[in-house]
Structure 1
Amino acid sequence: MATGIPDVLARVTPHTDRLLATARALDDAAAPSLCEGWTRGHVLTHLARNADGLSALVRSAVDGTGETMYASPQARDDDIEAGAARPLHELVADVEASAGSLAQVLPRLGPGHAEQRLERTPGEFLVKAKNIPFMRLREVVYHHVDLDAGFTFAGVEPDLLRAFIAEEVRRLRALDPAPDLTLRTPEGDEWTVGVGTASVTGSPAALLAWLARGLTGGVAGDPLPRLPKGR
């Protein structure tokens, strides 16, 4: 997961602060989010438990605790479901506290930990330790958009948008079979998956919204290809 962007760690806190400001202003935490089947409460609870899980991975990398991000896929889902219906102030406090704890431990990751392979659940490979800050940044930005409360990918820094698109493209290329498409922006950016048969154009923000959430506003194709499900 080579991001190609500088100071990933330094961007986590500002984007978290922006998300918290949006969350505090929500009028209804039980309203649907952009994540199918999840309310905004589900999204906020997931963000809190994601921070806890990534903190566990940092401890595993630095202290050798052997912790995984989640005890099991079912435990992850159960924790999100259990916390989703809480009052807004409890949801926000949970996200803020868990994010604060993660922010304290992330700087402990150093070059000596970079290549350690860590597990999402027992026996399931997740990521190298060096990619944890980018993982958290991606979660915060994507789920800020998912709150469907005014923040969109258009509010994300251009270099970060391109890094997120590159990550989505990497995931598509890893599929078997991979779709054949070429993504283009008016600024001249281009990403190819497979042989690149289908052409999709749009701003970086619009392309990312399509890749990450299936939103078609601002993207064009002739026709617009259907992305594989279950990515």
Structure 2
Amino acid sequence: MDETLAALESETARLLATVAVLDDPAAASGCDGWTRGHILTHLARNADGLAGLVRAAVDGSGETMYASAQARDADIEAGAGRAMPDLADDLRTSSARLAQALPRLAGLDAGLLVERTPGGPRFRAADLPTMRLREVLYHHADLRAGFDFEDFPPDLVATYLAREVTALAGLPDAPAVTLAPAGQEPIRVGPSGPTVAGSPAALLRWLARRDPAGVHALDGDVLPELPRGS
């Protein structure tokens, strides 16, 4: 956990430095239908939700991450239109509160589960720092402000690429494809299919955001269409 918290502190600082120079909250982001304002509001409310889960795990508060999926979406929509200074301040203060809360998870029963919404998906409280680190990195790239998947720490690129491959393989309409990350062994999804090559970061961006920049199909094949939802 100490290593994850240190990485989260570093990446949050990089995110806040990017946000400090942004001036257009209505600019498009890397998430379909979301502006930068949506991204920043989501990150702030995500921090608050995770802090609530720390209280649930440590104090037995009974809190869930969000009151409901609908409430989560409504909060993001309500906050997305704010001015950039307000968005930046919200993200900075909510991230600081979470940074104070997460170390309280040290020594907690590794199997203790918390809930995303009442009666909804459950996950391990011990995984909350890892979850937040992924949110910070992915959505920093989604701001389209000079930080991209290539700027992720290489070990996390490998971790997230493996996760995205597993998620893709679990979809019923997943295409048969072989990924060829530069400098690494090929990764097959399903039966034999076209080979898609690129840097590990470019392949991660393609799987995570359906963005084909930096990847290409070998042997004259075309890129397979990726289903939504992985």
Range class of TM-score, shorter chain: over 0.9
- Residues in 1 aligned to 2:182 and 2:101: alpha-carbon distance in whole angstroms: 40
Deviation beyond 6 Å, 4+ runs, structure 1: none
- Residues in 1 aligned to 2:122 and 2:170: alpha-carbon distance in whole angstroms: 15
State the TM-score, normalizing by the size of structure 2.
0.93
How much does 1:9 deviate? 2.0
Aligned residue in 1 for 2:225: 226
Q: How does 1:51-200 map to 2 (within 5 A)?
A: 51-200=47-196
How much does 1:171 deviate? 1.4
Cα distance 1:37–1:193, how it changes in 2: closer, same or farther (>3 A)?
A: same
Structure 1 residues 40-99: Cα deviation after superposition (integer angstroms, max 9, x where no partner): 011000000000111111111111222111000110011001111111111001001111
**Structure 2 SS opposite 1:195:** coil
Cα distance 1:127–1:189, how it changes in 2: closer, same or farther (>3 A)?
A: farther
The residue type equivalent to 1:132 in the other structure is L
**Structure 2 SS opposite 1:81:** helix
**Structure 2 SS opposite 1:7:** helix
**Structure 2 SS opposite 1:112:** coil
Aligned residues of 2:29 and 2:143 also touching (Cα < 8 A): yes
Aligned residue in 1 for 2:41: 45
- Residues in 2 aligned to 1:199 and 1:163: alpha-carbon distance in whole angstroms: 21
Aligned residue in 1 for 2:208: 212
Aligned residue in 2 for 1:34: 30
**Structure 2 SS opposite 1:68:** coil
State percent identity of aligned pairs.
55
How much does 1:177 deviate? 4.7
**Structure 1 SS opposite 2:228:** coil
Q: 1:22 aligns with which of 10, 13, 18?
A: 18
The two structures, once aligned, show a CA RMSD in angstroms of 1.7
How much does 1:170 deviate? 2.0
How much does 1:178 deviate? 4.0
- Residues in 2 aligned to 1:109 and 1:6: alpha-carbon distance in whole angstroms: 11
- Residues in 2 aligned to 1:59 and 1:196: alpha-carbon distance in whole angstroms: 47
Unpaired runs of 5+ residues, structure 1, are none
The residue type equivalent to 1:230 in the other structure is G
- Residues in 1 aligned to 2:107 and 2:224: alpha-carbon distance in whole angstroms: 41
- Residues in 1 aligned to 2:116 and 2:2: alpha-carbon distance in whole angstroms: 25
Cα distance 1:188–1:77, how it changes in 2: closer, same or farther (>3 A)?
A: same
Structure 1 residues 173-209: Cα deviation after superposition (integer angstroms, max 9, x where no partner): 3323543222221212433322353322110110111
- Residues in 2 aligned to 1:40 and 1:226: alpha-carbon distance in whole angstroms: 26
**Structure 2 SS opposite 1:165:** helix
